A and B are shown apart, each in its own frame.
Chain A
Amino acid sequence: MASDSGHGAQTSSGYIEHHLQNLQVCKDDAGAWVWNHCAGNPMTINVDSMFWSVLLGLIFVLLFHGAARKTSTEKPSKFQAFVEIVVDFVDGAVKDTFHGKSSLIAPLGLTIFVWVFLMNLMDLVPVDWIPMAAGAAGVPYMKVVPTTDVNVTFGMSIAVFVLIIFYTIKNKGVLGFIGELTLHPIAPPLKGPGLIAAPFIIAFNFILESVALLAKPVSLSLRLFGNMFAGELIFILIALLGIYQLPLHFGWAVFHVLIVTLQAFIFMMLTIVYLSLASESH
């Protein structure tokens, strides 16, 4: 297997590195577009991650939009029934957790769940198929699981983070947001000799709460990224085993179906929980 992979080195570590390398494009110092020599360049775009994630997002949007457009109360098609099960599942999760009124959170949860699920699902495509086909077509690198790219998971969690701040400010005001960052968990004394200690307490609270706030998107994205990256890495390692990979690959794939679904669900659920925390006073 290792010897088959087109562009990488012929060793095992080369094979692994090749599989973990994104197809990248960036502008170099001279202003010219260059491919795959972008290490350390912050203006790089991972073309494969973007391509696959947008493709899968489009698949989600088109499938579900098709079902939504042809929706029928009397005679639902089987696909509509399936879509409704997913929608109902997400709706139930949102209603259990989020008690405010929002037309955004439920669709957001659905999008995250299905999109992340589809991106994770690419992990079950045998690791060599698409990279080898791409190699044959002249594309040197092809990383097909977008959620093994930390940029992808961070991109999503940053959107969630912005929404958390937006919902906090929308529901509690700017002062409420600042108060939430500074007046918890230790309430600073407002009068008496303790007033001297108040700035220190506020500073302490601010550090603590900022870390807690920033930990939300970081943990959200790193959890997904870590799980999928590790899963992909194990698939690659199994692929190195030659013929013995078959039972192992099967076993890991079965187990991975669970991880794929679970991680998508966790990402959705935590998003809902964070947003409901942001809109409820406590």
Chain B
Amino acid sequence: MKMIGGRKLFKKLLASMTGMIMAIGMLAGCTDKEPTSSNSTSQSKDGNQLVTITTARTLKDDTKFRQGEDVNNNPVTRWAEKELGIKLKTLWTAPNDEQYYNKIRLALSSGQELPDVFMVSDGLLINDLIRSGKVMSVDKAIEQYASPRLKEIFNKFPEAFYPATVDGNRYGIPRFSGGNGSDSLLWIRKDWLDKLGLQPPKTIEDLEKIMDAFVNQDPDGNGKKDTIGLTLASKNGLATWLADGSFVFGAYGNYVPSSWSKGEDGSLVYGSVQPSIKKGLAKLREWYEKGYLDKEIGILDEQTAIKSFVAGKSGIIAAPPWGAGWPIADAIKNNPGAIVEPYPLPSGSDGKIGRRGEGLTVGMFLFNKNFKHMDKFFEYWDAIYSYIFNDSRYFKYGLFEGYDYVMKDGQPVYDPNQIPRGKIDPGKYFLTTDIPTVPYMLYNLAEELYTTKRKPKNAYEYTKIVSQGEPYMKAATIVNQQNQYRIENEFSGPPTKTMQKRGEFLTKMERETFANIIYGRVPLSEFDNFVEKWEGSGGQEITKEVNEWYRSVKGEK
């Protein structure tokens, strides 16, 4: 921490004390300071124009640096400066998303200058930033500067722009997610199945038989009735990213709780109030009563729910493919002899299958309205995308030699143990805070690598897929093959007017009702009362507003 000199500070205190100028200045509303040195161009050593782009980002604990390097001095910044003539300057960092958004919001609220480029995923904050007029529309810039292949991706996933679309103008560039990266499948204790002579489940009915056996036939052989069938998290909603319960609802209809998806007439409807949800809740209620679920399910969030599975007290968990590394690996470590295998999601009585589909974007990159170098930005963007398209001028075998790979005898080696001073992922130094992605690409690749058994072509394929192990690749293949069952939340805009007013109450009511139904504290018919109350207490208006939003971002009148 740097210290300002005592005298300077004293003067400052004195000045503010006597004049109270500040208070007046504050009331007058945010007197802006001079923009922080953005848009400056300077000469680089070899005479080329050097463009400075400022940013702010999260810097998580898993982003490691080599000795002497940091967020403003690393292979990526050096590469950008040398090859692209871009000086990337990170003005500030925050260690996690929550703190990052807090700081952006504070900067906006107190009239601070925003960085040139920064990512936001919170819909409301994006909307506030757009309405403040401090960020600019990117329509023209995409038209002028984006490379053809970037345009192609952008056109392929138009809905990825919806979170930052206002009045038909696009204000942000999406930071794509893996598409189906956090979609779930079933992980089941294969050793338990074998021990009890059971087959993997094809239907919910099969699943019930298995759960029953897991609960009543002592699969862990300790002579105690202390095992459960299925690990679910419910504190933050039943459709979620780990210990996910959405497949139970997906087996009975095209809706999952807390999610806006297309109804029969093509307009968006709220999942939680659809009749099929009642069927799913009825199942969960029955399962809870029979002891298939964790007694504490009501208070378990994603990260506390998994402990039953990790401790070897539960036989099934719905988790994404990356679950192979955590928590599945921990479960195997804790329970010698445990075998956990990935399986496709089971179907309901009429053959229906459905799962919560992850959104297409992780966040939107927004641009300060004074930012002048969109051309440079897109040059950078295309350059880092070239890596995953495998045609990069800069990154043939990997990103940076000595970081994610080394050359030995003219061949790239990816094994972390062979890299001097260990392996470090320089992809985290990119503006995207990770190697950029295109939706569905990762699991498509994984499926290809898993089914063809071909060798990885670059450090990306090795690190992100092959080195994750066989179970991961198998799971990714299964998830990819069930892509048609995705039920995505299609509402990605900011909370609507009525949502801001009534949303808290409606969500609270929903969580409370669902929890009480599962615990059998209220009759199942309470669901109907909930639906009625939901409609009457603002739900109808919200549905109307959501559809207005939907039409507007799609460009319909």
Do A and B share a complex?
A: no
